Amino acid sequence: MLAQIADRQGWMLRLRLLLLAALAVAAPAASQSAAAPAVFEWFEYRGDESLPGSRAGEYANPVLTGFYPDPSITRVGRDYYLVTSTFSYFPGLPVFHSTDLVNWRQIGNAISRPEQLNFKQLGLSRGVFAPAIEHHAGTFYIANTCVDCGGNFVITAKNPAGPWSDPVWLPELEGGIDPSLFFDNDGRAWILNNGPPVGEPLYEGHRAIWIQQFDAAKLKTVGPRTLLVNGGVDIRTKPIWIEGPHIYREDGYYYLTAAEGGTAEGHSQVALRSKNVTGPYIPNPANPFLTQRDLPRDRPNPITSAGHADLVQLPGGEWWATFLAVRPYEGDHYNTGRETFLMPVRWENGWPRITAPGQVIPYVHKRPPLPATGKPFSRRRTTVREDFDRALGPEWMMMRNPRERWYAVSGGALRLQPRAVGLSDFGNPSFLARRQQHMFATASTSVRFDPAAGQKAGIAALQNDEYWFLLSLGNRNGRPEVQLERRAGPADAAAGVLLASAPLPSAHTGPVQLRIRARGGAYDFDYAVRPGQWRALRHGADGKLLSTKTAGGFVGTVFGLHAYGAR
Residues in CB range of 287: below 8 A, 6 or more apart: 233, 268, 270, 271
Separation between Cα atoms, residue 503 and residue 527, nearest integer Å = 11
Torsion sign across C-alpha atoms 164, 167, 173, 175: positive
Q: How far apart are CA 129 and CA 244, in angstroms?
A: 10
Count the neighbouring beta carbons within 10 Å of the beta carbon of residue 168.
Answer: 13
Q: Which amino acid belongs to residue 403?
A: R
Instruction: Report the C-alpha gap between 152 and 144 in whole angstroms.
Output: 6
The vertex-531 CA angle with 527 and 532, nearest 5°, equals: 70
Among residues 118, 100, 99, 96, which one has the least CA distance to residue 108?
A: 96
Judge residue 229's burial from the number of C-beta atoms within 10 Å of its C-beta, 0-12 exposed, 13-18 middle, 19 or more buried. Answer: buried
SS3 assignment, position 9:
helix
d(CA 89, CA 95): 14
- Identify the helix (H) or strand (E) that includes residue 549: helix 548-551
Residue 221, amino acid = T
> Within 10 A of 288 (CB to CB), how many other CB atoms are there?
24
The amino acid present at 402, given as its one-letter code, is P
Q: How many residues does the chain have?
A: 567
d(CA 405, CA 24): 7
Q: Which of 70, 260, 339, 466 is catalytic?
A: 70
Residue 243 appears among annotated catalytic residues = yes
Catalytic residue, candidates 49, 134, 243, 260: 243
Task: Give just the sign of the alpha carbon dihedral 149, 153, 159, 164.
Answer: negative
**Residues 6 or more apart whose Cβ sits within 8 Å of residue 518:** 335, 436, 438, 439, 440, 441, 442, 461, 543, 557
What DSSP designation does 11 have?
Answer: H
First to last CA, the chain: 52
φ, ψ (nearest 5 deg) of residue 237: -90, 5
226 vs 224: CA distance, rounded Å: 6
Cα 225 to chain center, whole Å? 31
Q: How far apart are CA 133 and CA 498, in angstroms?
A: 44
Strands, sheet with 177-183, edge to edge from the N-terminal-most edge strand = 177-183, 189-195, 208-215, 220-230
166 labelled catalytic = no
Give the C-alpha separation, 228 to 236, whole Å: 16
Opening angle at CA 438, ends 433 and 442, nearest 5: 65
- Active site members: 70, 243
